[in-house]
Amino acid sequence: MQASEPAPQPTGLPETVPALFQHTAARRPDQPALFFKAGERWVPINWSEYGRAVTRLGNALLAEGLHPQDRVAIWSANRPEWQIADLAILHAGLTTVAIYQTLAPDQVKYLLSHSESKVLIVEDVKLFEQASAMRRELPALQRVILLQGDLPGVETWAVSWEQAMRRGDEFGRGRPGLLASRWQALGPDDTASLIYTSGTTGIPKAAMLTHRNLTWTAIATLECFRGDANDRVVSYLPLAHILERVVSHLRQLCTGCQVYFCPNIDQVREVVHEVRPTYFTSVPRLWEKMFAGIRAEMDKVRGPRRIIRDWALMVGALRTAAYEHGKAPSPWVQWQWGLADRLVFSKIRERLGFDKVQICISGSAAVSPDILRFFYGLGIEILEGYGLTETTAPASFNRPGQARFGTVGRPLPGVEIRIAPDGEILVKGNNVFSGYFKDVKATREALVDGWLQTGDIGELDKDGFLKITDRKKDLFKTSGGKYVAPGAMETSLRDHRGIAQAVVLGDGRPFVAALITLDPDVAETKAGANDPGARRLVDEAVADVNRGLSHPEQIKKWTVLDSDFVVGDELTPTMKVKRNRIAEKYGAEIEAIYAEKKTA
């Protein structure tokens, strides 16, 4: 089966990232572009200031004697300097290597060594000290630029952000036309960035994304859902991940919108409440937490307010049911929902900070269709999409007003999606990467006649909507010969109150089991795994999931772990579970599950 969308309409926008930036900056010189938090105040950086900073740092990189396509790494959380640095690197004709702030030093050392990065831009003194400790093992690294804080001691190989900017000013005065000639010489097929895969199943691979990949994909998303200069976007998912790079950084270069940088991922709800974004992207975990929080507050109401709550939820469900059938709600439901909106739903959206939101996106992993239905009933439409690093994030998206819950939508305009005989999803389009850096074998395996072998298993319905069923590598077979797809089961478990994460086990084992972590924000789980209330929530969740499974697929045993999974250890920065790491770290708990069964 194959689905494709018509090619995107010509926009006349440039095909390299620097040219796209220059195009927009020239048209909006005095308009605010980037906002950062200083105390309690949001401070704007306008497009002229943004452009000057890019020029200054770009010249500083040229002053290092770097040649076209040399690599420069950014190791930092989201902040204005991240985007400034990325654009400066690209203006200098270089290649950005994006590094997650949460990676361990050994992981960072591998990325810097493999990419042969010449310059490293680090956020703070803590990361600088880690870089210093690995310096002797990185012969290609010739300079480190520190974004904030004072350099410890006298470091001739390191400069502060301010020193780099001054070096750039001096170099620019002596070679005034060099930076412009560098970015103007770029072609759409030149490599713009190396983004390393999450390494959930082994050593990370460096996906090479071209300028065309980045600009074409950002422009294509604008044909899926609106975007303009009046948008307010919160940047909080890691910019080192291609999803955030596209939805905040690159789309901004197309629309000229405003980007607000969340100081810390733990503050995202507070920032959303302050900024009132019109466009918001998240991973399922945040939607799950919001859903749990709203339901917990609703469960507290008593008396007449509970009657109003139940009526409002019923009306929201009727509105959602009509939407899923592709019909407009009946006049009676429309009138009832309008009343419920004034009394209940608008207040919830305002409390969340979503009273101005027009587009909400969910990506990176599957989210429960029931959560999507619940939010639609509240007046918040969440559009689920699908993609990989190798597809420059999106390959498919649900469209506003046309979403099909439980699917990841139709292909982007100009993208083709095909289902192979074994169920694997294949993708072709200008969003597909050019290959893996320094890995010809892996590139040949991934790209066959221009089709990306995604490694995901899926289905296309008669209308071209894609449904993901699991990762090809995650499928396992029990010792009884039953194939099991753990992904959907894990999503269903996380959908239940009290459960934060779940990993389904059973490869080569006599039965299916699970490791489960508790959500610390739920009252019954605060006392830990041995609390009767927590055990009841887990038992009910497993029983509910099992009801939808055949007997060989059902979870027969499970263990509740003492603490939740941590980003950088059991989880990737985009909240995907590292199965190999979990099997290694919790080997004793896993063996105990199966040993217990054998003696039962």
Q: How many CB atoms lie within 10 A of CB 190?
A: 17
For range 267-272, the mean pLDDT: 93
Q: Token pair of 143, please?
A: 């300079």
Contacts of 472 (CB under 8 A, 6+ apart): 423, 424, 455, 456, 457
Nearest to 205 by CA among 433, 418, 17: 433
Given a cut of 60, is residue 598 above it in pLDDT? no
In this structure, the answer to whether residues 369 and 485 fall within a common structural domain is no
SS3 of 88, please?
A: helix
pLDDT band at 597 (very low <50, low <70, confident <90, very high): very low
Given a cut of 80, is residue 488 above it in pLDDT? no
Residue 564 pLDDT: 85
Question: Are the C-beta atoms of residues 91 and 182 closer than 8 Å to each other?
Answer: yes
% of the chain beyond a pLDDT of 90: 66
**Could you write out the DSSP letters of every residue in 45-76?**
EEHHHHHHHHHHHHHHHHTTTPPTT-EEEEE-
pLDDT per residue as tens digits for the range 158-184: 999 999 999 999 999 999 999 999 999
In this structure, the answer to whether residues 246 and 374 fall within a common structural domain is no
For range 307-320, the mean pLDDT: 95
Angstrom distance (rounded) from CA 37 to CA 329? 42
Given a cut of 70, is residue 201 above it in pLDDT? no
**CA 455 vs CA 123, 309, 347, 427: distances in Å:** 34, 44, 43, 11
44-48, 59-63, 389-393, 527-531: least confidently modelled range: 527-531
**Residue 195 domain flag:** no
Residue 599 pLDDT: 35
- Output the pTM of the full model: 0.85
For range 388-411, the mean pLDDT: 94
In this structure, the answer to whether residues 406 and 303 fall within a common structural domain is yes
Which domain-ending residue is among 471, 487, 519?
471
**CA 546 vs CA 428, 488, 513, 539, 551: distances in Å:** 37, 12, 11, 11, 8
Nearest to 93 by CA among 175, 4, 19: 19
Given a cut of 80, is residue 27 above it in pLDDT? yes
CATH code of the domain covering residue 543: 3.30.300.30
**Residue 175 domain flag:** yes
Owning domain of residue 329 = 284-378+385-471
In this structure, the answer to whether residues 37 and 166 fall within a common structural domain is yes
Nearest to 323 by CA among 249, 265, 383, 368: 383
Residue 553 pLDDT: 83
For range 367-376, the mean pLDDT: 92
Q: Token pair of 208, please?
A: 């090479």
pLDDT band at 570 (very low <50, low <70, confident <90, very high): confident
Which domain-ending residue is among 282, 299, 321?
282
In this structure, the answer to whether residues 302 and 370 fall within a common structural domain is yes
Angstrom distance (rounded) from CA 68 to CA 406? 44
Given a cut of 70, is residue 286 above it in pLDDT? yes
Residue length, the chain?
600
In this structure, the answer to whether residues 541 and 588 fall within a common structural domain is yes
In this structure, the answer to whether residues 120 and 248 fall within a common structural domain is yes
Long-range contacts of 515-518 (CB under 8 A, 24+ apart): 515/558, 515/559, 515/561, 515/582, 515/586, 515/589, 515/590, 516/558, 516/559, 516/560, 516/561, 517/560, 517/561, 517/563, 517/564, 517/565, 518/560, 518/564
CATH code of the domain covering residue 313: 3.40.50.12780
**Residue 210 domain flag:** no
Which domain-ending residue is among 420, 440, 471?
471
62-66, 255-259, 293-297: least confidently modelled range: 293-297
Given a cut of 90, is residue 472 above it in pLDDT? no
Angstrom distance (rounded) from CA 208 to CA 552? 42
pLDDT band at 351 (very low <50, low <70, confident <90, very high): very high
Radius of gyration of the CA atoms of the chain, in A: 25
In this structure, the answer to whether residues 467 and 404 fall within a common structural domain is yes
% of the chain beyond a pLDDT of 70: 95
Question: Are the C-beta atoms of residues 242 and 417 closer than 8 Å to each other?
Answer: no
SS3 of 226, please?
A: coil
**Residue 515 domain flag:** yes
Nearest to 353 by CA among 299, 408, 273: 273
In this structure, the answer to whether residues 348 and 314 fall within a common structural domain is yes
pLDDT band at 596 (very low <50, low <70, confident <90, very high): low
In this structure, the answer to whether residues 555 and 591 fall within a common structural domain is yes
Mean pLDDT of the chain: 90
**Residue 101 domain flag:** yes
Count each helix (H run) and each strand (E run) in the chain, helices first.
Answer: 21, 28
Rounded to the nearest 10°, the torsion over CA 520, 521, 523, 529 is -10
**Residue 217 domain flag:** no
In this structure, the answer to whether residues 271 and 288 fall within a common structural domain is no
**Could you write out the DSSP letters of every residue in 478-543?**
-TTS-EE-HHHHHHHHHTSTTEEEEEEE-TTSSSEEEEEEE-TTSGGGTT-TTSHHHHHHHHHHHH
**Residue 112 domain flag:** yes
pLDDT band at 600 (very low <50, low <70, confident <90, very high): very low
Instruction: Please give the tally of structural domains in the chain.
Output: 3
- For residue 413, what is the DSSP state? B
Q: Token pair of 286, please?
A: 């945040």
**Residue 249 domain flag:** yes
In this structure, the answer to whether residues 581 and 497 fall within a common structural domain is yes
